Amino acid sequence: MKDVAVIGVGQSSFVRGYEGSIRELAFEAFREAMQDAGITQKDVDASVFCSAPEYDKQRSPAGVLAEYLGLIPQPTFYVETVCSSSSTGLKVAYSMIKAGLHDVVVVLGFQKMSEITSAESQERMGRGADIQWEAPFGTMMPAYYALYAQAYMSKHGLTHDDLMGVRLKSSTYGVINERAVYRKPVKPGDFKQGDPEAKLAGPVAWPLRVGDCCANADGSSCIILANAQKAKALSKKPVWIAGIGAASEAVNMAARPDFAKGLSVGYAAAAQAYKMAGITAKNVKVAEVHDCFTIAEIMAYEGLGFAPAGDGKQLIREKATYKEGKIPVNVDGGLLSKGHPIGATGGSQIRTIVLQLRGEAGPMQVPGAPDIGLVHNIGGVGLYGNVTIFNRD
Amino acid sequence: MGFEKFGRKSFTAVTKTAKFVDLLAEGKVEGTVCKDCGVKFFPPRADCAKCFSKNMDWFEMPKKGKLETFTTAYYAPFGFEADPPYAMGVVDFGGGLKLFARLAKNIKPEDLKVGGDVTIRPLKYDDDQLSFEIAKGDQ
């Protein structure tokens, strides 16, 4: 199935309050990916732009950004699945290439969350789920994930210290990732309840605390895909797409099957991707998972089969998901430390895995020359799930 | 029209299920049931996804259920700033029927537990908005 390869990757620094417009933000990731691939715009047949539209003042940004990137008159369009938009963009681009319509496609994820005021942003957050039946209660993302955390902690003995363990791991790598928005070291004292100096301890939506939640950020990511013929001609180190899985779930919490089991889309997308790649969880050497909240990383371990259901906490307690562990996860800081610019997040995860497989991840490089990597990217509160598996020659 | 009366603040004015709000005013929390194939829905739907029928009837939700999960929100979205802290949760009535709502203000956080007995009841806010809430099982 080695028919589509990643031949170039790029991402901007993830920052608070990017000093530029969305087209300039997009160009940062694009420039890096094009220089990485060593190609020019003449080599690109089409582009796919990915973001969550409620943050953009620009209507229909694909055409505007394509022009700024020098990608006209080639076809371009927009793809959205909230936080997993650029993983969905990758799947669409893969399909375009597999169908034989195009040879080389640019997938550009971007989000300038600071494009709107924080009051506007809060209102949009409240409308991020079922606006007819749930938003009227005053819902927001941390509260939804807290519903999962509460049920999971109650059933499986997961503790607040385990959740803190996820954040401590994340910050270990956020400190050394120069593209991350949150680079300060985090220590257990930062979570101490009742201590006014403990900045990560305050409740947001109990049982989740400030330190359990990822940071908003502005950022962009760019992935360039090519068919096998072009990849071999253009790239010395192609990384192949070995498996793709994607699933959706009911938006309303009243229709969710089992809160203590985690997100159903994580399980469903993983099963598809493993089957397509012809591998199991044991073959994965490095992974990026969607840790928008600490609980989400624990649930992802189980959905992906890195741990049996209910046992995800053991991986954190044993430090098995650190860089030197048996299955390194989010060793670039993840969403918690690197930041989560909605539409750019999936592409950033993919970039990390591609660099890991090429042995170019610098201080974050997983030892042992990993040959198979996985990206797990969730949209909304498990509304959309995407798992993509990569390998190299 | 009519659905703007639902909840603390509604984002929807027009829906074929707006009768839900009229039923709340009568003190009833109701879902819809397909007259053709019998599938029950909560939240209510105007269209049956199983048999494509639009012949829907209303049915009253069960009174007794178990609290499947809950959270207490200390921050709120725009338009809800006056409310925190407030708790929200999911009630499981069995048979595939569940409901999401806020929990009654008079429940103390320490009295909440996953799997606890709860009931549901309609609620009218001071500004005449209509909603429903989760209450302790013995109320």
Is residue A102 among the annotated active site residues? no
> Chain A: nearest CA to B3, how far in angstroms?
9
Name the CA radius of gyration of chain A, rounded: 19
Q: What's the one-letter identity of residue B31? A: G
ipTM exceeding the 0.85 mark: yes
Q: Whose CA is closest to A305, among A266, A260, A248, A350?
A: A266
**Structural domains in chain B?**
3-136 (2.40.50.840)
Does the CB of A252 have a partner CB in chain B at under 8 Å? yes
| Encoded tokens for A55 | 């943050």
Q: What is the pLDDT of residue A56?
A: 83
Tell if the CB–CB gap between B78 and A135 is shorter than 8 Å.
Answer: no
Q: Is residue A292 annotated as a catalytic residue, yes or no?
A: no
- For chain B, say whether A117 makes contact (Cβ under 8 Å): no
When pLDDT is cut at 50, 70 and 90, the band that residue B109 belongs to is confident
> Would you call A140 and B68 a contact, using CB atoms and an 8 Å cutoff?
no
Full strand arrangement of the beta sheet holding B30-34: B40-41, B30-34, B56-60
Mean pLDDT of chain B: 94
Superfamily of domain A4-117+218-234: Thiolase/Chalcone synthase (3.40.47.10)
The structural domains of chain A, with segments of one domain joined by +, span: 4-117+218-234
pLDDT score of B107 more than 70: yes
In this prediction, residue B15 carries a pLDDT of 94
Whether A74 and chain B come into contact, CB under 8 Å, resolves to: no
Q: What is the pLDDT of residues B18-43, one digit of tens each?
A: 999 999 999 999 999 999 999 999 99
B88–A137 CB contact, under 8 Å: yes
Which of A160, A290, A340, A376 is flagged as catalytic? A340
Phi, psi for residue A389 in degrees, rounded to 5: -115, 135
Cα A18 from chain centroid? 20
Model confidence over B52-92: pLDDT tens digits? Answer: 999 999 999 999 999 999 999 999 888 898 999 999 999 99
- Taking contacts as CB-CB distances below 8 angstroms, the residues of chain A near B71 are 143, 146-147, 149-150, 205-208
Q: Which residues of chain A have pLDDT under 50?
A: 1
Q: What is the pLDDT of residue A1?
A: 45
* Bridge-based pairing state of the strands B130-136 and B117-124: antiparallel
Residue with tokens 């506007």: A120
